[in-house]
Amino acid sequence: MTSETLNLARALIQRPSVTPEDAGCQSLMNERLSKLGFNVEELFYTDTLNTWARKGSQSPHFCFAGHTDVVPTGRLEDWTFPPFAAEISDGMLHGRGAADMKGSLAAMIVATERFIKNNPNHKGSISFLITSDEEGPFINGTTKVVDLLESRNEKIDMCLVGEPSSRDILGDVVKNGRRGSLTGHLTLIGKQGHVAYPHLAKNPIHLAGKLIDELSNTVWDNGNAFFPATSFQISNIHGGTGAGNVIPGTIDIQFNFRFSTEVTADELKTRVIKVLTTHNLQYKLDWTLNGLPFLTEPGLLLDATLKAIKDVTGIDANPETTGGTSDGRFIAQTGCKVIELGPINKTIHQIDECVSIHDLEQLTDIYEAILVELLT
């Protein structure tokens, strides 16, 4: 079995682009975009290759976004097929990045080629925003390209990110938003001492008990029609000197909020500080805001996506906002509508990552149908 999308997906997988390497993936894609008349800009920041390619200058401006980098393979001997061989077996394409997200990249390119061939006089413009730094620290990737576009006052109206959104069958889930992510790095300060003389010390681990109880039982909000309730989770606790007879002087607690659009990061910070104050605690607290929440409400982009999925697969897709963060959050901050749609995510980041060849074909058809909906 062979197809254009499959061939391109294989060629991309065979380029071992572990974050932040691009390993020639973007030049392969950009050659094809240039042939279609795209104006291609390759933007290299520190260690990351990005592409901004656009055809046309009119609105509506529709953008395909994605990443060429992949997560590390893990132990090579654990893989059934070598991770960068792009082997085919039983209708599945195997390899690192097959589902996250080189299959999607191939489908975007082929869908665009077909669309332009069939609709040479389409309206609006099409662009590609591609990075090799999505799986990494996301410093020199999409966010930098978005800054550049903002400085030029170049606006994207609608964006489709090819992240693997599907759960059990292709197209059953699209992401029409993502929760925000806020991490707190808390140090509770007590007083170190001998366990046999507790009256001379102040045990921060004991102080943490009541605090954790309150924070973990607080209802931060009830979510809304598009978002589940905001959740608070502790991810790390470290306290103790290692000695069995010493009360430690401090305890470190790291926690994370996945938050809806019902609260802001600042509100969450204020409420945590209020709890700390009520408990009369001495502390040090630093915050990392990993991403703001975004939401694409029903409208042109979401409707076109749901219709395209229905037309190609017969499925009624579910719009959801669950899961981790994605580069969609940076693009959405510019006011652009963002949707995520890609293959089944069951094997992503795992040993033996793979994608169905049939799904890649259908994904290409869906992407093309979305272009038809929006730009003809």
Residue 50 contacts residue 130 (beta carbons within 8 Å):
yes
Q: Select 163 or 353, whichever has its Cβ closest to Zn ion.
A: 163
Number of residues that bind Zn ion (CB under 5 A): 3
Q: Select 360 or 372, whichever has its Cβ closest to Zn ion.
A: 360
| Residue of closest CB approach to Zn ion | 100
Give CA separation, 283 vs 226, 251, 274, 276, 354, in Å: 35, 10, 12, 8, 47
Q: Select 327 or 373, whichever has its Cβ closest to Zn ion.
A: 327
Draw the binding track, 89-108, toward Zn ion (x: CB under 5 A; -: no contact): -----------xx-------
Give 351's contacts (C-beta < 8 A, 6+ positions apart).
Answer: 73, 74, 75, 78, 79
* Least distance from Zn ion to the Cβ atom of residue 349, Å: 9
Draw the binding track, 114-153, toward Zn ion (x: CB under 5 A; -: no contact): ----------------------------------------
Stretch 149-178 residues interacting with Zn ion (CB under 5 A): 163
* Least distance from Zn ion to the Cβ atom of residue 116, Å: 26
* Least distance from Zn ion to the Cβ atom of residue 303, Å: 25
Q: Is 28 in the site for Zn ion (CB under 5 A)?
A: no
* Least distance from Zn ion to the Cβ atom of residue 188, Å: 36
* Least distance from Zn ion to the Cβ atom of residue 175, Å: 12
* Least distance from Zn ion to the Cβ atom of residue 66, Å: 8
Q: Of the listed 21, 69, 133, 340, which one is catalytic? A: 69
- Which of 299, 297, 295 has the alpha carbon at shortest distance from 373? 299
- Which of 185, 176, 159 has the alpha carbon at shortest distance from 323? 176
Q: Select 124 or 328, whichever has its Cβ closest to Zn ion.
A: 328
* Side-chain-facing half-sphere of 324: CA atoms under 13 Å: 9
Q: Select 162 or 239, whichever has its Cβ closest to Zn ion.
A: 162
| Cα gap 57→61, rounded to integer Å | 8
Q: Please report, for the chain, how many H helices and E strands are present, in that order.
A: 9, 19
Q: Of the listed 21, 113, 133, 134, which one is catalytic? A: 134
**What letter would DSSP give residue 58?**
P
Instruction: For residue 69, indicate whether it is catalytic.
Output: yes
Long-range pairs of 315-319 with CB within 8 A, sequence gap ≥ 24: 315/169, 315/170, 315/171, 315/172, 317/171, 317/172, 317/173, 317/174, 318/172, 318/173, 318/174, 319/173, 319/174, 319/175, 319/176, 319/226
Q: Select 143 or 203, whichever has its Cβ closest to Zn ion.
A: 143
**What letter would DSSP give residue 96?**
T
Instruction: For residue 22, indicate whether it is catalytic.
Output: no
Active-site positions? 69, 134
**Residues at the site binding Zn ion, with contacts judged by CB under 5 A:** 100-101, 163
